[in-house]
Structure 1
């Protein structure tokens, strides 16, 4: 028995960690197939508004992907590519229950389980050698999820979270991939930066301006240039491109109540509702900028109101989907303010983002309508960002501001 354990421990590093990233394959579609076996093997898409043909694909099965169907694709386009496509409306209660059951299965192997989103998470199995080698544990997890829940997954095995995440993306569906630091030169470095976890389209564009096109380019880039285009985030990405990621698997990570706030003491006590809402909107813009710089998003917005007599109230509002755009922050703040302001003179206004989540680990527990609206508005937001970056904040103004300007001239 001792010799068997000794043999297994040889697969575990003496001073490092063994981390798995478990990524469910085409999760929403897989849950629907588990619920209705007649859907297995069929091209299936989760979307909405099928009658109007205006729906957006939330996710789709691998059978549908063979026809070129992709997430965020308009439903009419998907049906053109795959006329036999089966479309189901999202059932988020069903998906949340499946997610909960999935994480319960993972906790049978280790207490160190960190959910990242509804369909993926990390497990630290460094001390789990009695259960077998890392590959044997990964195979056991994969088989258990498939046999108990009828849900397929891919698993990455690595010495840290970043490499485990990259590994799980390499073989889908039902893949198991080991990625060691010594492998990154030939497996990761040739890949374009956009394929690196944590690098979005905008970051990839900025990196391209300093001739960084691959993960290898990023790994060997000049520190000063990286800081110039991406700030401290550029240095963090460079470390990960070199296989360095000290973040532990933290079961409490999702429960942290970090916050970012922005407030202003008014030059005079104000009772005019329109003025107060304008101030609140400016606070939303300021807060959005701070969240963007820190690469955070929020699932809880709070408004702080301090009256002339120094009485202070703070009221929060939980939000299903992580937000950061000024318009979304202001919308939530305006509702809170209108519900809680008693009409008395206000001395201080504040707006804070609580239940903060990292941008690259934020996820949307989507309801269909917010998903579709977000997808439709994204080109508009990108166009506004481009204009503001090029010409300054005053280039985009509200109609009410323009009207006020015209009235002032009269």
Structure 2
């Protein structure tokens, strides 16, 4: 029995943060708009299409962006609003499709395989786009093909607020004339390497023998060759929203040593922060738990600006601990829980971070991921 051809739709909210800000303040519509920190050392978290005409891109230093477009309006990020609208879109998609994957705060994959005989996949995906726009006011673009890879590239080509279907059998010819950097997983360094080899289009990349790509880049070379040839078997992973991440520690002996307890809180916070960043998640609520020697257990929580940055998380944890701890009593256990989790990463959350801070955290996480979770940590967490 022949294998059924898949039909995968990809949806991406156009300039998501910018359009949310325009919904909140319609006067911003049509203007060069930058979302991010106001200091020269901050980075651009998002920018409007009007700002992109000046060469501005996400993750660009704000100093450079202001130089390219001095008349741009700069707005601090509001993750609470972005999370709210992301949930609205998620609920619309959840209620209208059989299976979907939420790839980020503003990006979705939908498996429409088998629906052609009932509705027509292109028509159905178009109706879903229209429904999102009508019910949220947010423009969303859509690509449709036999796999996630080609659908995502099609969405990028359809932006802004467009739809593009790649007919079965035309996947390679669609990708062929595009620049290599249009392929997912091809960043600036890989682009530079390929360009030095004379490889500028996906067609040229697809014609390089797979063995040569493996010798050049290892397993990544094989995957890059597969993508250039429009091969992608990855499934649409059903979306299940994670409710929380948490950790706790029970001391070998009850203690009133505040410095020791604070060091343990720092260590636990770093552990959870690392876990959030590995999952591309942000937290908007922190809970600290104390269990005293008499087994009386108390908790205190606070809402925060959505983040996965250790320095902000640690400060909030310390503040909660100070409000919660009764210095006259021995402590048996400490616990921390992060809730109100949303998809997100450095560039879309750390609006007041500097480029240097972002690179530092990325390098630290890279070391801990490669060599062990606790290879690099704050000295204050080692008491």
* TM exceeding 0.5: yes
Residues 311-355 of structure 1, C-alpha deviation per residue, up to 9 Å, x if partnerless? Answer: 4455555554241x5434433332332232333222333445556
8 Å contact kept, 1:219–1:242: no
Corresponding position: 1:336 with 2:320: yes
Counterpart CA distance in 2 for 1:24 and 1:244 is 24
Give the counterpart of 1:327 among 311, 321, 325. Answer: 311
- Trace 1:373-388 onto structure 2 (pairs within 5 A): 373=353, 375=355, 377-382=357-362
Which residue of the other structure, out of 294, 297, 304, is the alignment partner of 1:309? 294
The 2-side partners of 1:218 and 1:327 are apart by 45
Aligned position for 1:362 = 344
Residue number among 226, 245, 267 corresponding to 1:259 in the alignment? 245
Counterpart position of 2:351: 371
| Structure 1 residue 155, shift from structure 2 partner | 0.6
What is the SS of the residue equivalent to 2:351? helix
How many angstroms does 1:378 deviate by? 1.6
Deviations 1:123-143 (A, max 9, x none): 443465477422223333445
Q: Cα–Cα, structure 1 residues 172 and 341, in superposed 2: closer, same or farther, change >3 Å?
A: same
Contact 1:55-1:372 at 8 Å conserved across structures: yes
**Residues 67-101 of structure 1: per-residue CA shift (max 9 Å, x gap):** 11222434443232234434556566765665566
Aligned counterpart, 1:125: 112
Unaligned runs of 5+ in 1: 1-12, 405-410
Please list the CA deviations of residues 12-56 of structure 1 after superposition, one character each: whole Å capped at 9, or x if unmatched.
Answer: x9746533222121133334556777755543334564xx77765
Query: Which residue matches 1:78?
Result: 65
Aligned to 1:43: 32
Residues 168 and 274 (structure 1), Cα distance of their counterparts in 2 relative to 1, 3 Å cut: same
- 1:278 maps onto 2:263 in alignment: yes
Larger RCO of the pair (alpha carbons < 8 Å, separation 6+): 2
In the alignment of these two chains, the number of paired residues is 363
Choose which of 153, 165, 171 in structure 1 pairs with 2:140.
Answer: 153
Matched residue of 1:371: which SS? coil
| Partners of 1:296 and 1:35 in 2: CA distance | 26
- The reply to whether residue 23 of structure 1 matches residue 28 of structure 2 is no
Say yes or no: does 1:268 pair with 2:267. no
Separation in structure 2 between the aligned mates of residue 74 and residue 395 of structure 1, nearest angstrom? 27
CA distance in 1, matches of 2:276, 2:136: 38
Q: In structure 2, what is the Cα distance between the partners aligned to 1:131 and 1:148?
A: 25
Partner SS for 1:110 = coil
Residue equivalent to 1:5:
none
The answer as to whether partners of 2:33 and 2:51 remain within 8 angstroms in 1 is yes
Does the 8 A contact of 1:301 with 1:351 survive in 2?
A: yes
What are the within-5 Å matches in structure 2 for residues 236-251 of structure 1?
A: 242-250=231-239
Contact 2:288 2:317 survives alignment (8 Å): yes
The equivalent residue for 1:408 is none
- State yes or no: 1:171 paired with 2:155: no
Secondary structure at the aligned position of 2:263 is classed as helix
State whether residues 54 and 76 of structure 1, in contact with CA within 8 Å, keep that contact through their aligned partners in structure 2.
yes
CA RMSD in angstroms comes to 5.3
Structure-2 change in CA distance of 1:87 and 1:280 (3 Å): closer
Counterpart contact for 2:58–2:347, Cα < 8 Å: no
Say whether residues 1:135 and 2:135 are aligned partners: no
Name the SS for the 2:234 alignment partner: coil
Partner SS state of residue 261, structure 2: helix
Secondary structure in 1 aligned to 2:158? Answer: coil
Gaps spanning 5+ residues in structure 2: where? none
Q: Taking structure 1 as reference, are residues 86 and 309 closer, same or farther at Cα in structure 2, changes over 3 Å only?
A: closer
The one-character-per-residue Cα deviations of 1:142-200 (angstroms, maximum 9, x if unpaired) are 45555776643221224455554444234322342346896666767997689526x88
Contact 1:321 1:365 in 2 (8 A): no
